[in-house]
Structure 1
Amino acid sequence: MFIPFYTGRVIDILGGQYQQSEFTSALLFMGLYSVGSSVSAGCRGGLLLCAISSYTCRIKVKLFGALTKQEVGFFEAIKTGEITSRLSKDTTLMAKTVGLNVNVLLRTFIKTVGMISLMMNLSWKLTLLVLMETPITGLIQNLYDTYYQRLCRAMQDSMALANESASEVVSSIRVVRSFKSEKHEARRYDERLLDIHNLKTRRDIVRAIYLLARRLTGLGMQVFMLYYGRLFIQSGQMTTGNLISFILYQSNVGANIRTLTYIFGDMLNSVGAAGKVFEYLDRKPQVSADGHLKPDQLTGNVKFNCLNFAYPANPSKTVLKDFSLELKPGQMTALVGSSGGGKSTCVSLLERFYEPQDGEILLDNEPLKSYDHHYLHKKVAVVSQDPVLFSGSVRDNIAYGLAECTLDEIQDAARKANAHDFIMQLEKGYDTEVGEGGGQLSKSEKQRIAIARALVRQPNVLILDEITSSLDTESENKVQQALASCPNITLLVIAHRLKTIEKADQIVVISGGKVEERGTHQKLMDMKGSYYKLVENIKHFGSLSVASLIFCQ
């Protein structure tokens, strides 16, 4: 800040009566201020980078935690590409913009105030002339910020769409290859990138015009300053050294004022990214997880009482209508019916992925929402038709979500799921990496690991959602024998194989979101109703899924 002042002082000394002591003193102070400024800038920059890195990490962790607490319906409404874009790009942009700009804003503001004070001391008239540039610069900056911010928001949305297209293709590459749609997907991705390119081009053109206007304003002000400065020197109001110091200060103050207006606009531009991040951070899940009930004993009696439910993504279509059903401990209940009838919806509601619009689900005569979230999902376990495994070892996947699970418990669950033998044949046994999504294992092996993951929790309610389609007959028999050894478990099964359904204590036929028939296999066959027709179709088509389709038609 003081270097321009001493620069002018040196010029006055050299232009007048030269004095060695004053010249040496001026150079010494210039050197000290230069060293001090350099050391301060280096320390400030290093600390700032550490702060930005720490802030970025913290905001990403908080956002990820907030996202994982949202209900399933949220992820059905918001596309994956948009979520990953907010989590990766917007958090980084937000942290860098806020961290860097706050630092530069404070530093520049303090320097500007100090320089203006020194300039007033040199010539208050020239200082007022220079400050006339500020409203002009502010007007230009305001026009620029308004348009630039709108383009930045459009770019963020366009990049989210491009990320979504890429992630969708990568996750579904088998389907893309099967239908020879590589060129179509490449063209679709290219269109997304072209939209981004067009927006960037418009943004760069706007920025070029803005920089030109800002440059012309600065040059015009320098011309006026030099003209009036010459007049002040001729009238004796300033010395040549004072004018040079003033010119150096004006150059720095002009740059600082432009920096301040730019930073203010840049922080406004980051509001779009920050707004989307905080929108997710502040969002309250529509399915509450605030229950506190954790009883020591749980029998596993489940009651669906007069449920009416429609998915949030399609609220006009009611999936379950006045649906009532009881699942008793120690009994196996099988759900059958046409595709889209509401079988999997029952599972989703029992897992508390959604809240019914009317009615409630009771577990041991207590509403599901009153139970502690972690307690509930330990006592109610589900195995789906398409099991999901995570990158890590077999052991980690079986013990997923159970920090204190022992190896003996893991192996016992694997034996019940008929998975222990094939696991021991792997290169590292239970420490073998399964790959991303379990890609190193077959579908049958993944299914058995998923069954072991459910059994290791020793649940009171176990849901098997069409898992037998991935198991051979031997594995299915062993799994059923293992389940038979747990006489007090409440078992809910959705299956395609008639042999599995026949063994159920209660068979429930669901049609149009309602319970159409209920009873044992023999009772329903004697009724010669919907279930009877399904079984007759199975004899012709060999599969309940095909039979259900024919029945639905």
Structure 2
Amino acid sequence: MRVIHLYKPDYLLLLGAFVFLIVTVLCEMFIPFYTGKVIDILGTQYHWHDFRSAIFFMGIFSFGSSLCAGCRGGLFLCAINSFICRMKVKLFGSLMHQEIGFFESTKTGDLTSRLSVDTTLMGRAVALNVNVLLRTLIKTLGMLSLMFSLSWKLTLLMLMETPLTGLLQNIYDTHYQRLSKEVQDSVARANDAAGEAVAGIKTVRSFNTEQSEVLRYDNKLLDTHNLKMRRDTVRAVYLLLRRVTELGIQVAMLYCGRTFIQSGEMTTGNLVSFILYQADLAGNIRTIIYIFGDMLNSVGAAGKVFEYLDRKPQVSSDGTLQPDTLKGHVEFYNLTFSYPTRPDRSVLQSFSLELKPGQMTALVGPSGGGKSTCVSLLERFYQAQEGEILLDGQPLQSYQHQYLHGKVRSIRDNITYGLKNCPLEKVYEAAQKANAHGFISQLEHGYDTDVGERGGQLSGGQKQRIAIARALIREPQVLILDEVTSCLDTETEHTIQQALASCPSQTL
């Protein structure tokens, strides 16, 4: 019901689609009926008026069916695409507000799958599946009534196929869907293997493991091939059994139909109409059985999407405090913290620290000692289990999210990321302070140079200097630097340190 409510902006499109659906079904039901009438007219004493009337109605119903089917499909697709677009934006917005720990404990593939696959399945749950289900159900009921009017005996004989077909379809769907999921997972593992090798090509080349990576990828593809063979074998067996069942029923129906024609219970045209209905009805019954299973899958996908939509971030961003001035006095008070992915290992235990305005404070210690953790906590990436962080005497979570991250910046993103209408002079100034202006000016297009994906055309030191400029351009009151000069030479490091120390009112 929640999915139906989310379709509210598209109710008008859905209403129009359902109207065209009903008209389409009504037209399709009468085409076989008039086909039989034409055969009866041609097989008996020919009457031009009756023949012309039958052909006219056949043409009207065929044209109406085609026109309404196209309109129905177009409206449903418009509704589906509109819904999927809204859901993707809504889900992406919800993900962007989650805490950093959520992304560390959730695989990227799961998130992209929710955004790309599950939102699409949600859209199909109502618009597409209900469209097919209603069309098939209405058409099936209508054809059954017409078939009973033609011959109730043949109808009962034909319905004997339904339980057999349903049982075969149910067994097939269970095995085929399970194997299809295994194939998808296997393809994903093969793609991961290829992606890891390509992303780490320098490491692969350095350790001369090209052939082992090729062999690993080949093994992944072999697993996928074997799963596809099993899946396709299941489909082949199902199609064979289904065809044998259909053939047996058709032979019995033709034999009984011949007997009924000879006894005068039905005409040749009626038998032709009945055969056309029966061929269509078998497919409709299989479709109904399949759609119920597909709708269950769609409901499962919707549940996964709602799980993320309804998730509340563990690090709250509901603060409202926005003071006009900020001194930059930071206090870590009795902090105890462990990462969400390692809750049994405390990184900080009863930790306290004071950062005074206008002073440069350096945290020195071994790798893994908690230096970067202090930076992450100050940026509100995580929430400490005990203790609190005060900024100018107020708890950090009390500050408005956008305000806080405008005053406290880490070295990330790009120089003007998040800044609207930033003057080029400020970009130059920030780059000069970061000792980056010189090499940027020497690039082919200067500040407009495309540096490739993730800055792949820049050296580590160049990327680090640009990262420093990203923070400096905002003129933050509290500037957080985590191993800021790890990729720089001594001379560049000294120049940048002098530039950073030139602002006496800044907490560094």
1:434-484 CA distances to partner (integer Å, 9 max, x unpaired)?
A: 211112222222111111110112212111111212223343233223222
2:488 is aligned with what amino acid? L
Alignment of 1:84-483 (within 5 A): 84-89=112-117, 91=119, 95=123, 100-269=128-297, 275-383=303-411, 397-483=414-500
1:173-226 CA distances to partner (integer Å, 9 max, x unpaired)?
A: 322222223233333333333333333222222222222232223223223322
1:411-456 CA distances to partner (integer Å, 9 max, x unpaired)?
A: 2222222222332333332222221111222222211111111011
Instruction: For residue 272 of structure 1, report the CA deviation from its aligned partner.
Output: 5.7
2:479 is aligned with what amino acid? L
Instruction: For residue 279 of structure 1, report the CA deviation from its aligned partner.
Output: 3.9
1:440 is aligned with what amino acid? Q
Which residue is 2:57 aligned to?
A: 29
1:414 is aligned with what amino acid? A
Question: In 2 relative to 1, CA 159–294 (structure 1 residues): closer, same or farther, beyond 3 Å?
Answer: farther
1:236-274 CA distances to partner (integer Å, 9 max, x unpaired)?
A: 332221121111111111111112212323344555655
Which structure has more strand as a fraction of its residues?
Answer: 1
1:290 is aligned with what amino acid? D
Whole-Å separation in 2 of the counterparts to 1:312 and 1:240: 75
Q: Does 9-18 or 199-208 show the bigger shift?
A: 199-208
Q: Please give the root-mean-square deviation of Cα atoms over the aligned residues, in Å.
A: 2.6
Query: Which of 26, 30, 47 pairs up with 1:2?
Result: 30
Whole-Å separation in 2 of the counterparts to 1:376 and 1:51: 40
8 Å Cα contact 2:464/2:485 also seen in 1: no
Question: In 2 relative to 1, CA 180–85 (structure 1 residues): closer, same or farther, beyond 3 Å?
Answer: farther
Question: In 2 relative to 1, CA 132–453 (structure 1 residues): closer, same or farther, beyond 3 Å?
Answer: same
Question: In 2 relative to 1, CA 489–221 (structure 1 residues): closer, same or farther, beyond 3 Å?
Answer: same
8 Å Cα contact 1:81/1:163 also seen in 2: no
Question: In 2 relative to 1, CA 285–185 (structure 1 residues): closer, same or farther, beyond 3 Å?
Answer: farther
1:415 is aligned with what amino acid? Q
Whole-Å separation in 2 of the counterparts to 1:52 and 1:468: 51
SS at match of 2:486: helix
8 Å Cα contact 1:149/1:269 also seen in 2: no
8 Å Cα contact 2:125/2:299 also seen in 1: no
Whole-Å separation in 2 of the counterparts to 1:291 and 1:161: 42
SS at match of 2:384: coil
Which residue is 2:22 aligned to?
A: none
Question: In 2 relative to 1, CA 175–59 (structure 1 residues): closer, same or farther, beyond 3 Å?
Answer: farther
- Which TM-score applies when normalising by structure 1? 0.80
Q: Does 350-359 or 98-107 show the bigger shift?
A: 98-107
Instruction: For residue 5 of structure 1, report the CA deviation from its aligned partner.
Output: 0.7
- Which TM-score applies when normalising by structure 2? 0.86
Question: In 2 relative to 1, CA 232–166 (structure 1 residues): closer, same or farther, beyond 3 Å?
Answer: same
Question: In 2 relative to 1, CA 88–176 (structure 1 residues): closer, same or farther, beyond 3 Å?
Answer: farther
Whole-Å separation in 1 of the counterparts to 2:308 and 2:194: 23
8 Å Cα contact 1:79/1:164 also seen in 2: no
Whole-Å separation in 2 of the counterparts to 1:271 and 1:205: 28
Runs of 5+ in structure 1 lacking a partner? 390-396, 492-553
Instruction: For residue 96 of structure 1, report the CA deviation from its aligned partner.
Output: 6.1
8 Å Cα contact 1:152/1:269 also seen in 2: no
8 Å Cα contact 2:121/2:301 also seen in 1: yes
Whole-Å separation in 2 of the counterparts to 1:218 and 1:293: 73
Identity %: 70
Question: In 2 relative to 1, CA 200–122 (structure 1 residues): closer, same or farther, beyond 3 Å?
Answer: same
Whole-Å separation in 1 of the counterparts to 2:217 and 2:381: 32
Whole-Å separation in 2 of the counterparts to 1:4 and 1:147: 35
8 Å Cα contact 1:350/1:361 also seen in 2: yes
Instruction: For residue 4 of structure 1, report the CA deviation from its aligned partner.
Output: 0.9
Instruction: For residue 321 of structure 1, report the CA deviation from its aligned partner.
Output: 1.0
Question: In 2 relative to 1, CA 446–272 (structure 1 residues): closer, same or farther, beyond 3 Å?
Answer: same
1:207 is aligned with what amino acid? R
8 Å Cα contact 1:148/1:203 also seen in 2: yes
SS at match of 1:468: coil
Whole-Å separation in 1 of the counterparts to 2:295 and 2:356: 59
1:483-503 CA distances to partner (integer Å, 9 max, x unpaired)?
A: 223212111xxxxxxxxxxxx
Runs of 5+ in structure 2 lacking a partner? 1-28
Which residue is 2:48 aligned to?
A: 20
2:342 is aligned with what amino acid? N
Whole-Å separation in 1 of the counterparts to 2:310 and 2:235: 33
Question: In 2 relative to 1, CA 287–439 (structure 1 residues): closer, same or farther, beyond 3 Å?
Answer: same
8 Å Cα contact 1:112/1:256 also seen in 2: yes
Whole-Å separation in 2 of the counterparts to 1:159 and 1:288: 38
Q: Kindly tell me the number of residue pairs found equivalent between the two proteins.
A: 480
Whole-Å separation in 1 of the counterparts to 2:119 and 2:227: 21
